[in-house]
Amino acid sequence: MKSLILTSLYLAKDTIHRWFSRVSSPLARVLVVYFLGLCALCSLGSYALATKIVRDKIISRGGDLVLVTMVPSRASDCAHLPTAAELEELLDIETYALSSAGSARLQNGQHASVYTFDFDRMGQYLPHMAASGGPTLLQSPDGTLPPGPADVEFMGEQCTVFVRNLPENHLLMRLIHSRGIIVQADSLPDKHARHSFVRLVARVRHLENTESILRVERYFKNLIRLEQANGNVISASRLLEELDTVLSKQNLCRMAFCLGISCIVGILLTALAGMEYRQNEYIYTLMKSFGIHPIMLVGAFIVENIIIVGASFAAAVVTFMHFQKIIVSQLLKLGNYSLSLEEILPEIHIISITLGVCILISSIPIIIAAHRDIGRVLK
C-alpha cells in the first residue's frame, strides 16, 4: 500500500513537472477542448432552444389541449363524463366540462350560448359566478358588456345575469370562446339538459412528449364509443408527432457534429500523449523494471487527460451559461430566450460521452507502448 501511494505521488509530481516545463502541451489541450466544447454547446444549444421555442409556441396556441364533444345518440339520453377529480387522478389533466342549454339574446342585440354543469363540478364554477350562484355571463376582457348586472332574453323571458370577465388564457375560455352564460342545472327545465350535448376541454399538465396527449385522446375516444354516443376529439397530436419526427432527424445531425469534434480532440490527445510518453519512456521503463505495473502508467495519462478535458469542458459550460443570452440573441439570432441547465443537460451529456470516448481512445498508444519489452527499451 505504501509503495502504491508513493508511486502515485511520484506520477502526480511528474505530471505537474511536465505541465510547467512544457506549458504548450496542457495549454493546447485546454484551448482546443474549451473552444470546441463551447462551439458544440452553441450549436447543440441552438437545436435545444429552437425546439423549446417551437414547443412553447405550440402550447401557447393550445397544443396541450384536448377538445371533446359528446352528443347522445338518442334524445332521451344524457351524455355522461367522469368527474374532474377522477380525470385528474387517472390522466393528470385539468378539465372543464359544460352542457349546452340553448342561447340567449343580450341587451345589445348579440347572442351568447347558455351552458350548465354537473353538480360534482360546482366547486370549479362557483368561484367564477355571481356571489349568489345565479346565472353569470363570462366574457373575455374586451367584451362589449361592462361587468355587473345585465338583462338577457332566454327562452322567451327576460332575466338578469351577472357579467364577469375572464383572462384570455383561462382554460374555460376555450369552451365558451368570447362569451357564455353559466347556469346551474337545477334552475333549468330537465328537457334542456337532457337534449344538450357536452363539451369538455382538457389541459395536459405535463406535456413531455406526443404520447402524453395521445393517451388522453385515446381515452376520450374509447369513452365516446363505450357510451354509444356521437362526438369527436380534437388535439394537436399530429402536429406534435411531426415535431418529434423532425427532432429525431436532428438527433442524427447532433451525433455527427459530436463525432467530428471527438475526432479532432481524439487526434490531439493521442498525438500529445504518445509524444510525452516517448519522451519519458526510459524513466517509465525503469519503473516497470522495479515492479510498477503498466496499468499505473497508463492510468496516470488517463487521469491527466480526464482532469484537463473535464476542467476545460466545465469552463466551456460555465461560459455558455453565463453568456448564453448574448450568444443566443446576437450569434444565433433566436431572440430573447435562454436555456436552463436542466434543458441543456442532454447536450452536455452527449458532449461529455464523446470526450470520454476520446480519452479512452487516446490511451491506446500508451497501452501498447507500456507493454513493450523492458529489454528492448533499456538496451
Alpha-carbon distance of 260 to 108, in angstroms, equals 68
Mean pLDDT of the chain: 78
Lowest mean pLDDT among 16-25, 29-38, 137-146, 296-305: 16-25
pTM score, two decimals?
A: 0.66
The pLDDT of 12-26, averaged and rounded, is 73
Report which of 291, 292, 284, 289 is spatially closest to residue 366, judged by C-alpha positions: 284
Residue 277 pLDDT greater than 70, yes or no: no
pLDDT of residue 193: 47
The pLDDT of 264-283, averaged and rounded, is 70
Lowest mean pLDDT among 84-88, 231-235, 297-301, 353-357: 297-301
Reported as a pLDDT band with limits 50, 70 and 90, residue 39 is confident
The pLDDT of 70-80, averaged and rounded, is 68
Residue 24 pLDDT greater than 70, yes or no: yes
Residue 375 pLDDT greater than 60, yes or no: no
Report which of 238, 214, 236, 232 is spatially closest to residue 68, judged by C-alpha positions: 232
Q: Hey, what's the cell of 228?
A: 354509444
User: What are the pLDDT digits (tens) for 76-106?
Assistant: 556 678 888 888 888 888 888 888 887 888 8
pLDDT of residue 189: 57
Cβ distance 58 to 217 under 8 Å? no
User: What are the pLDDT digits (tens) for 170-201?
Assistant: 888 888 887 888 888 776 655 444 546 788 88
Cβ neighbours of residue 216 closer than 8 Å, sequence gap 6 or more: 66, 91, 93, 202, 204, 235
